[in-house]
């Protein structure tokens, strides 16, 4: 009899395949070629349906105008006018979606009103191929089943079942994937997302630090840095407005702030010592003074790009001569 090896550790709980977390990234996160992840919120079926209804109503306005012109200009039976209107609607539907999404970067009038847009699943720009495929497939997924429903009662029982299965399968595809992609989106490599809300960061110069008056900088101390360093400092101060939750990250942020203060003091020969509790006030006061100094210099025609601006100007003068 073979002895059974003793169990060590904790037994791993069985996870069913449909409950396992996928190894890929979240559906609302795409990584463009630049390598910087961009996060979106996937648009739900409700807001997409509302945008679709708006677009359908807008196209039907053109159809109604077309039929009214025909009715006034020609004496034709009503059945012929309806047939011509249906053909005209078929002729403007797909071009409307394709042209607007290509010109407005994934938006139609309905999508713009609902604040959603089409994006490429690989993070690149929308391609004409993807836009054309997703909108041509919309005819088979949305419009053909919808029009067939109007004459469903005139069909035999077999064809009624076929049409209902067709509609059910078209509706099931976006419900069974995380990005709510219909078949046209899967074939075209696209999906629909909510437009991110544009949030303007507060102006750091409009709210100086409480102890800013304690840190005064002379003009010659502000000649060392340019617009690039000012933008870098501004980004750091904006990130510092939302302190990290983890202790290690908070310690690293304080160390970075102290290193920046030391570098600035050495660069500009700032004589006074800056205690740790005033590091943030010092950086904000320096940002306000440096920004005002650069803006004033720009009024006189001098635009300082970065900290190497002065050295580059000196070299150019030396090469050109006095």
Average pLDDT, integer, range 72-83: 72
Give the pLDDT band (50/70/90) at residue 310. Answer: low
Nearest-10 crossing angle of helices 279-299, 247-268:
50
What are the CB-based long-range contacts (under 8 Å, 24+) for 294-300?
A: 294/222, 294/226, 294/227, 294/230
- pLDDT at position 18: 36
**Residue entry with tokens 């101060």:** 237
- Rounded distance between C-alpha atoms, residue 290 and residue 226, angstroms: 8
Average pLDDT over residues 109-126: 88
**Lowest mean pLDDT across 2-6, 52-56, 220-224:** 2-6
Q: Using a cut of 0.75, tell me whether the model's pTM lies above it.
A: no
User: What pLDDT digit, counting tens, does each position of 152-179 carry?
Assistant: 777 777 887 887 888 888 888 888 888 8
The full DSSP string for 234-284 is HHHHHHHTS--SSHHHHHHHHHHHHHHHHHHHHHHT--S---GGGHHHHHH
What is the average per-residue pLDDT within 120-138?
Answer: 88
Q: State residue 37's pLDDT score.
A: 65
Q: Has residue 132 got a pLDDT over 90?
A: yes
Instruction: Give the model's confidence band at 307: pLDDT under 50 very low, under 70 low, under 90 confident, else very high.
Output: low
């Amino acid at each position: 009899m073979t002895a059974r090896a003793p169990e060590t550790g904790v037994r791993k709980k069985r996870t069913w395949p449909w409950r396992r977390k996928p190894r890929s990234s979240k559906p609302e996160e795409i990584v463009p070629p630049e390598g910087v992840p961009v996060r979106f919120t996937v648009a739900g079926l409700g807001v997409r349906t509302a945008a679709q209804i708006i677009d359908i109503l807008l196209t039907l306005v053109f159809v109604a105008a077309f039929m009214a012109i025909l009715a006034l200009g020609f004496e034709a039976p009503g059945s012929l006018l309806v047939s011509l209107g249906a053909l005209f609607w078929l002729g403007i539907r797909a071009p409307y979606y394709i042209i607007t999404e290509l010109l407005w970067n994934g938006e139609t009038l309905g999508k713009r009103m609902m604040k959603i847009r089409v994006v490429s699943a690989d993070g690149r720009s929308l391609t004409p191929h993807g836009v054309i495929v997703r909108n041509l497939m919309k005819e088979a997924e949305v419009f053909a089943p919808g029009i067939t429903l109007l004459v469903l009662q005139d069909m035999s029982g077999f064809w009624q079942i076929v049409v209902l299965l067709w509609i059910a399968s078209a509706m099931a595809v976006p419900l069974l994937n995380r990005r709510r992609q219909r078949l046209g989106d899967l074939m075209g490599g696209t999906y629909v997302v909510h437009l991110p809300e544009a949030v303007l960061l507060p102006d750091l110069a409009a709210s100086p630090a409480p102890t800013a008056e304690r840190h005064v900088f002379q003009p010659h101390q502000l000649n060392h840095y340019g617009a690039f360093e000012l933008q870098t400092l501004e980004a750091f101060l904006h990130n510092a407005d939302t302190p990290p939750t983890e202790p290690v990250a908070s310690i690293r942020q304080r160390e970075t702030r102290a290193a920046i203060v030391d570098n600035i003091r050495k660069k500009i020969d700032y004589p006074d010592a800056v205690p740790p509790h005033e590091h943030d006030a010092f950086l904000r006061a320096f940002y306000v003074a440096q920004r005002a100094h650069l803006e004033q210099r720009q009024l006189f025609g001098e635009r300082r790009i970065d900290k190497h601006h002065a050295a580059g100007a000196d070299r150019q003068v030396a090469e050109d001569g006095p």
